[in-house]
Structure 1
């Protein structure tokens, strides 16, 4: 029996700007430090090498702790598609895969975000334990991305993020 399960989180958002602007916010490290796993006031590190095989890293400092998110770019197709890995090594060595697809629509662009979430199992878990963990990881991830996407929308549409966390 494998020691993990997977669940998929899919979210769609509309932005009142061209796809290029949203695509840049995912890859430009100055923009990343304002919304991607961090906020400008709590960000310690925002490093990015936006090419296939290149890596990204965010370190956010909150409540006296550093939270590190890292990943590698698997596919970059400007300005329509971005595929990368994501993990937070302090919590798990398991790596999720995230796909961001952008398409131009009449009022700007539509972003479809998909995260394949890997949920580790603990020893002696029952089927209901696994189902509960899958639900919690899915809901927790969705909540986090909802907050980040509010910041992303504000950033690409107004040039700044007012939410301070």
Structure 2
């Protein structure tokens, strides 16, 4: 794929728990299935091999369809930093890179999340079309992560997820 642009989504969230607790929620399949691209009730697969070069996979069943998200771990610094790829093969072969950094605060921790989003171009797109697509991908991703991070916060702070928008 040679015709594409990229945009970066960066989000920061605070949690009233240790960085280790939030870090674990990104890697523990039992926790992942409750918030990471899926919900416990719709999750079909939540598996991972949390080591550099290891892979992860989530399959969520919604509206009669399976949605599969996969990736590979690039960097793992326990309780501090996680870098991995993210791809949904049924929609695109493009692979985004996600970085999660955790910092201990006096009370709890701060998570800085960034996603390098690849936006494939369609034939005959003008610069205005590209700008519009970049905005839509960015805003759509931000909306999705926002909902997931509400679930993540609830999970790490209370042990369960009840919110769904």
The TM-score, its normalising length taken from structure 1, stands at 0.98
1: CA distance, partners of 2:48 / 2:115:
20
| Residue 115 of structure 2 is aligned to residue 118 of structure 1 | no
Q: CA deviation at 1:163?
A: 2.3
Map Cα deviations across residues 7-51 of structure 1 (whole Å, 9 max, x no partner). Answer: 000000000000000000000000000000000000000011000
Q: CA deviation at 1:68?
A: 0.3
1: CA distance, partners of 2:164 / 2:48:
23
Change (3 A) 1:24 1:53: same
- Number of the residue aligned with 2:37: 37
Q: CA deviation at 1:106?
A: 1.0
| Residue 26 of structure 2 is aligned to residue 20 of structure 1 | no
Moved over 4 A (4+): none
The TM-score, its normalising length taken from structure 2, stands at 0.98
2: CA distance, partners of 1:84 / 1:20:
18
C-alpha contact 1:83 1:99 (8 A) present in aligned 2: yes
- Number of the residue aligned with 2:75: 75
Map Cα deviations across residues 65-98 of structure 1 (whole Å, 9 max, x no partner). Answer: 0000000000000010000000000000000000
2: CA distance, partners of 1:147 / 1:104:
23
CA RMSD in angstroms, aligned pairs only: 0.7
1: CA distance, partners of 2:8 / 2:164:
29
> What is the correspondence of 1:125-164 to structure 2 with a 5 Å cutoff?
125-164=125-164
- Number of the residue aligned with 1:106: 106
2: CA distance, partners of 1:15 / 1:79:
13
- Number of the residue aligned with 1:88: 88
Gaps of 5+ in 2: none
Q: How many residues align?
A: 164
Gaps of 5+ in 1: none
